Amino acid sequence: MPSVEPPPSPWAMPDPRHAPPGVELLGVGADVAPGTLLAAYRSGLFPMPVGDLLDLDDDPVGWWSPDPRGILPLDGLHVSRSLRRSCRRFVVTVDTAFDDVVAGCADPSRDHGWIDARIAEAYAELHRLGWAHSVETRTVEGDLVGGLYGVEIGGLFAGESMFRRATDASKVALVALVGILRAAPDPARRLLDVQWRTDHLASLGVVDVRRRDYLRRLEDALPLPPAF
């Protein structure tokens, strides 16, 4: 089923091409309607609330463009021997429990939680329109024990968050995601965005690229057909 293009955003998004090097928070405000979110991703931005960061009573959305940006090259995924064993222990499904995956990622007991009801509802609507997808990790009995979700526009997959309730469950979902993207046309041009490189993600093969390089890769990836 093809994705449904929502009404365009009434907001003018900041242009990362004009941002000073190293400046990552480029704007605050606007909404998280589908058209606004898609316009943001297409321009190289993603949303994250900034109320705590800016010490504000309300919690406006910030529009971020990290410099450097974390990406996972599809030919650079590191799969350890133990992770290979885990991939055989679990069952992977796609787009069968999107809301449950988002809820798992939004678990308030997790550190640095930022997914509130507003964000969850926004991505649920993107999912209904065909733009957001989940990869679920399940036990052989069918219990959901991990997963990830993100937004796909053409050859861009913007990973938003992942969670696990069993060892390696989120990593298994990532291995499956990379497999889906590599099986699509022109895998070398596809862009798997993870926002920021952390030590954990670096152990899986995530690397940093400068913002200008990310934007160049994004421009090349967007015209591709989606993998999902």
CATH number of the domain at 147, please.
Answer: 3.40.630.70
CA distances from 28 to 42, 112, 190 (A): 18, 19, 29
Look at residue 107 in the predicted model and tell me its pLDDT: 85
Q: SS3 of 119, please?
A: helix
Of residues 159, 157, 196, the one with CA closest to residue 24? 196
Tell me the C-alpha distance between 185 and 225, whole Å.
Answer: 8
Range of the domain at 146: 70-208
Asked if residue 194 belongs to a domain, the reply is: yes
Look at residue 113 in the predicted model and tell me its pLDDT: 66
Domains in the chain: how many in total? 1
Asked if residue 111 belongs to a domain, the reply is: yes
Asked if residue 154 belongs to a domain, the reply is: yes
Look at residue 12 in the predicted model and tell me its pLDDT: 94
**Which phi and psi angles does 209 have, rounded to 5°?**
-130, 150
Look at residue 51 in the predicted model and tell me its pLDDT: 67
Measured torsion, CA atoms of residues 126, 179, 201, 139, in degrees rounded to the nearest 10: 80
Contact predicate 75/178, CB 8 Å? no
**Which phi and psi angles does 81 have, rounded to 5°?**
-60, -40
Asked if residue 153 belongs to a domain, the reply is: yes
All residue ranges of the chain with pLDDT < 50 are none
**Which phi and psi angles does 152 have, rounded to 5°?**
-115, 125
Look at residue 108 in the predicted model and tell me its pLDDT: 76
Look at residue 109 in the predicted model and tell me its pLDDT: 72
Asked if residue 11 belongs to a domain, the reply is: no
Report yes or no on whether pTM surpasses 0.85. Answer: yes
Asked if residue 189 belongs to a domain, the reply is: yes
Of residues 166, 192, 168, 167, the one with CA closest to residue 179? 192
Look at residue 56 in the predicted model and tell me its pLDDT: 56
Asked if residue 225 belongs to a domain, the reply is: no
DSSP strands (E only) in the chain:
25-28, 46-49, 61-64, 69-71, 91-94, 132-138, 144-153, 156-164, 191-195, 207-209
Of residues 167, 154, 187, the one with CA closest to residue 72? 187
Asked if residue 147 belongs to a domain, the reply is: yes
Tell me the C-alpha distance between 148 and 199, whole Å.
Answer: 18
- Tokens 């919690």 belong to 59
